């Protein structure tokens, strides 16, 4: 499996240790009873053939735009709809 050349994996591996904004393909997610758009910002900790791990990671929720998730968060590569490398996670962005 390590012989598979995936441009997304290679791009993300080149960004290890950098901050990134990721939007996933889900319309909305639910966490702790809060429904939110799937917008995450964090530092790339690990990249594998199946997922990318962010830590620390902020979940951009309308009522808590800087909510820091307490553990590393793995995002499946096939669920990534858009990403922006070198994104400042303290940046305010409209979520509506």
Tens of pLDDT, residue by residue over 29-86, are 887 787 888 899 999 999 999 999 999 999 888 777 788 989 999 999 999 999 999 9
Structure tokens at 27: 């319309």
Bridge partner list, 22: 40, 83
How far is residue 91's CA from residue 75's CA, in Å, rounded to a whole number? 21
pLDDT at 77: 96
* Domain residue ranges in the chain: 7-85
Backbone φ/ψ region at 17: left (φ over 0), alpha (ψ -120 to 50), beta: left
Tokens of 81: 């709809």
Report d(CA 38, CA 17) in Å as an integer.
21
The architecture CATH gives domain 7-85: Roll (2.30)
pTM: 0.88
Kindly state the DSSP code that residue 96 receives in the 8-state scheme. Answer: -
Quote the pLDDT of residue 48.
94
């Amino acid at each position: 499996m390590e012989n598979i050349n995936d441009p997304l994996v290679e791009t993300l591996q080149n960004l290890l240790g950098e901050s990134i904004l990721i939007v996933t393909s889900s319309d909305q997610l639910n966490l702790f009873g809060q429904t939110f758009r799937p917008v995450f910002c964090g530092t790339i900790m690990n990249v594998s053939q199946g997922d990318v791990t962010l830590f620390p990671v902020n979940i951009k929720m309308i009522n808590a735009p800087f909510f820091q998730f307490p553990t590393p968060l793995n995002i499946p590569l096939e669920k990534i709809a858009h990403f922006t490398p070198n994104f400042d996670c303290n940046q305010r962005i409209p979520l509506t």
